[in-house]
Amino acid sequence: MYANGGDEMEKPIEKALDECLFFSVKKLDRMLNKLADEAFRKTGLAPTYGFILLILKEKDGIPQKDIAQMLYSAPSTIARFVEKLEYKGYVKTVSEGRLSLVYLTEQGRQFTKEVDGSWEELHQSYKAVLGNEASKELAEIMNEATDKLQKK
C-alpha cells in the first residue's frame, strides 16, 4: 500500500493507525466509555455525573472550576452537569463572590453509595480483562504521558 501516494511502500494504514498513540488512546477511550456506561447505567446517570458526585464526596464545597480541572473538562461543560445534578436534588451551588461552590445534598450523599458500586463495577470490568497489575501500569503510563505533554 502506498499511504503517502508516492513510490515508497509504507505500512498498511491499519498498522500505522495501531502504532499511532492518538488513535490507540481514542480506541481505548471508546472501549472504556462502553464499560463505564454499562457500569453506571443502573444509576440513571452518565459516568461523568457519577465522577462529580464522587469528587464532592471527598471534597465537598469546591469550586466548579476545580471540578473541571480534575476531570479535564471545560468549565462550561461541568456547569451543565452540575445544573442537572442540582435539578435532581443531588447537589446545591452557593455563590461566593466570583466562585460557584458545589455541595452534596443529603440525597446526593446517600446516592454516592450507589455511585461507589458503579465505580467499583467499572474497575472490576476492565481488571477482569486486563488484569489488576496491567490496569495499574497502563494508568501510570498514561498519567506520566499526560503530565509530560502538559508541560510541553
Closest-CA residue to 63 (of 107, 108, 111, 95): 95
User: Tens digit of pLDDT for each residue in 22-40?
Assistant: 999 999 999 999 999 999 9
User: Tens digit of pLDDT for each residue in 74-95?
Assistant: 999 999 999 999 999 999 999 9
**Residues 2-13, mean pLDDT to the nearest whole number:** 58
- On the question of pLDDT at 1 being above 60, the answer is no
**CA distances for 128 relative to 22, 26, 96, 123, 135, angstroms:** 25, 21, 45, 8, 10
Q: What is the pLDDT of residue 10?
A: 65
% the chain with pLDDT above 90? 84
- Look up the pTM and report it: 0.84
**Residues 29-55, mean pLDDT to the nearest whole number:** 97
- On the question of pLDDT at 7 being above 50, the answer is no
Instruction: Write out the three cell numbers for 96.
Output: 461566593
92 bridge partner residues: 103
Instruction: Write out the three cell numbers for 95.
Output: 455563590
User: Tens digit of pLDDT for each residue in 93-139?
Assistant: 999 898 999 999 999 999 999 999 999 999 999 999 999 999 999 99
List the domains of the chain with CATH numbers.
1-33 (no CATH), 46-151 (1.10.10.10)
φ and ψ at residue 100, rounded to 5 degrees: -115, 105
- On the question of pLDDT at 47 being above 90, the answer is yes
Q: What is the pLDDT of residue 34?
A: 97
